[in-house]
């Protein structure tokens, strides 16, 4: 009575029937590639940024993630005060400091 559907005969040695380690090689390879190309570099950047943030000192010239550049006037546990112009001081989060500029960079601008 199966006019439109043909009978299917399964064999024991196909891809679906492969067992053990052979069927796990591709997913393990994908996880390894994901780790080395995405996770590991991100963790490295996070460690570098944490070291930069903990090393902030008064007198350093820094740039925030918003692009604001200034001289660090005061450093507290969570916040940094940047002097962006004469007698203009703003407060930003310490973690929002993107980079520390070389001394004298602000005078060149």
Decide if 99 is inside a domain.
yes
Which pLDDT score, from 0 to 100, does residue 43 have?
95
**Is pTM beyond 0.85 here?**
no
Q: Do 41 and 85 fall into the same domain?
A: no
Q: Do 67 and 23 fall into the same domain?
A: no
Structure tokens that stand for 37 in this block: 């190309």
Question: CB atoms < 10 A from the CB of 51, how many?
Answer: 9
Task: Decide if pLDDT at 57 tops 90.
Answer: yes
Task: Decide if pLDDT at 55 tops 80.
Answer: yes
Structure tokens that stand for 36 in this block: 């080395």
Which pLDDT score, from 0 to 100, does residue 106 have?
85
Task: Decide if pLDDT at 68 tops 70.
Answer: yes
C-alpha 91/C-alpha 78 separation (Å) is 10
What domain range is 97 assigned to? Answer: 57-109
Strand duo 69-75 + 61-64: pairing? antiparallel
Question: Largest Cα–Cα distance of the chain, in whole Å?
Answer: 92
pLDDT for 3-47, tens place per residue? 676 666 655 555 555 567 788 899 999 999 999 999 999 999 999
């Amino acid at each position: 009575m199966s006019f439109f559907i043909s009978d299917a005969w399964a064999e024991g040695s196909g891809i679906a029937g492969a067992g053990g380690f052979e069927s796990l090689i591709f997913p393990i390879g994908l996880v390894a590639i994901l780790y080395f190309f995405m996770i590991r570099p991100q963790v490295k950047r996070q460690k570098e940024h944490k070291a930069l943030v903990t090393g902030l000192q008064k007198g350093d010239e820094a740039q925030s993630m918003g692009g604001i550049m200034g001289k660090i006037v005061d450093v507290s546990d969570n916040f940094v005060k940047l002097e962006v112009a004469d007698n203009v001081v703003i407060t930003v989060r310490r973690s929002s400091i993107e980079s520390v500029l070389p001394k004298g960079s602000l005078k060149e601008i």
